[in-house]
Structures are given as C-alpha cells and as structure tokens.
Amino acid sequence: MIFKNLIKAGFVKKVPIDIIRAKSLIKSSEQALNTAKIIPIKEETLKTIFRELYESLRQYCEALGYSKRYKFLNHESITSFLNEILEKREISLKFDRYRKLRNGINYYGNDIEISTVKEALREIPLLINKLKKINNKI
C-alpha cells in the first residue's frame, strides 16, 4: 500500500513528535522481548513467546512512528511505514510475515511450529537492533 493513501484513509495519523511516548514504547518493547527470552520453550508456551516477540517488534516500530510524526491505527500501516518511509523493505517483509503469523494465532487459533518460534527468537532482536540505528534520538 502507498503510505500517503493510508494517511488519507485514516489508518495513519500525522501527530506531533512525541519522544516521551516513543521512549515509553521502547521500554515496553524491551520488556516484552526480555519476557519472551526467559519463557521456557515448550509446546504450551510457543504462542505466548511468539506473541511477546511480535509485540516487542511492533512497539519498537510504533516508537519510531512517534519519532517521525506518525501514529498507526492498524498493523498493516507499520509494514508500509517500514518500506516506504524508512526504506527498509527487508524489515517490512519480515514484520508483515510475523504480523500474519500472529494474526493466525490470535484470530484463527492457528498453531505455530517450534522452529518458527526459535527463528523469531533469533531474528526479532536483530530486526530491532537494525531499527535502533535509524533514530538514536529515542
């Protein structure tokens, strides 16, 4: 989707830069990531671990949005923001993949493979670290 169309459609709002909110989201992102890392990997914890990992990535992206004057009203808008505004196509594709997996878990009761969770445990911290390099004001 073209980001400017998401703004016109009301899925993204232009807001004043909000560093306080961005820092709060980063703190929450770090907490979610740390929580995901300490949960034992067992069949019954896979969905919880994955949700926390996705939440961590989403919150970090939202923090970047507030630092760039955007508030996202849906998760698909974050994909477009990553791709078009930050010009991070690879990260946007990975975010969207994780978004779809998380939606499958949350809304359709899908299961998730242990290999996918282990991959996310490795990859999501790396994605967040790449995003940290974009804006070190927050």
What DSSP line would sit under 110-128, residue for residue?
Answer: ----HHHHHHHHHHHHHHH
Q: What is the pTM of this model?
A: 0.95
Rounded to the nearest 10 degrees, what angle do helices 46-67 and 89-108 cross at? 130
Residues of the chain with pLDDT under 50: none
Position 9: which residue type?
A
What fold, for 19-132? Answer: Four Helix Bundle (Hemerythrin (Met), subunit A) (1.20.120)
pLDDT, position 123: 98
pLDDT, position 138: 67
Structure-token pair, residue 8? 């016109």
Q: For residue 13, list its beta bridge partners.
A: 71
pLDDT, position 137: 62
pLDDT, position 18: 96
pLDDT, position 136: 66
End-to-end CA distance of the chain: 27
Q: What is the rounded distance in angstroms from the CA atom of residue 77 to the CA atom of residue 68?
A: 14
